């Protein structure tokens, strides 16, 4: 069958939680979340530091009414779209196959 011990029928969720496949799923999910969270929060920390210690930098004119501050806002919105798209692709290619295996281990013959 799978990685879950059939003798632990009453504790199948505990057995699932301790299974290697579920640990791999959590590790991949947590690793991706940590990296993208670090990039996203690093970006925001950079923006806050620049706004606090170099406010004139945000007032620099670029093109017409566009200044560096508005550019940073637009880049922040784009970063949200990029991170969301990257997560959807990562989940579809890496997390979903592992999730299906874990679900099959848990449900057994029910599916």
- Give the count of beta carbons closer than 10 Å to the beta carbon of residue 39: 13
Is there a contact between 15 and 5 (Cβ–Cβ < 8 Å)? yes
Query: What is the pLDDT, as a whole number, of residue 57?
Result: 92
- Over residues 3-32, the pLDDT tens digits come to 555 554 558 888 888 889 999 999 999 999
Residue 73: phi and psi, rounded to 5, are: -65, -45
Q: Residue 85 corresponds to which tokens in the numbers above?
A: 């798209």
Enumerate the domain spans of the chain: 12-110
pLDDT under 50: residue ranges of the chain: 1, 8
The model carries a pTM of 0.74
Instruction: Measure the CA–CA gap between 68 and 60, rounded to whole angstroms.
Output: 6
């Amino acid at each position: 069958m799978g990685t879950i011990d059939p003798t632990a029928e009453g504790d199948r969720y505990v057995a699932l939680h301790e299974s290697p496949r579920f640990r791999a799923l959590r590790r991949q999910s947590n690793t991706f979340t940590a990296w993208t969270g670090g990039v996203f929060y690093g970006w925001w920390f950079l923006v806050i530091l620049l706004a606090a210690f170099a406010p004139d930098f945000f007032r620099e004119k670029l093109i017409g009414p566009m200044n560096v501050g508005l550019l940073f806002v637009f880049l922040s919105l784009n970063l949200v779209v990029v991170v969301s798209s990257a997560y959807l692709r990562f989940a579809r290619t890496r997390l979903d196959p592992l999730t299906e295996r874990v679900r099959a281990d848990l449900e057994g013959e029910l599916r």
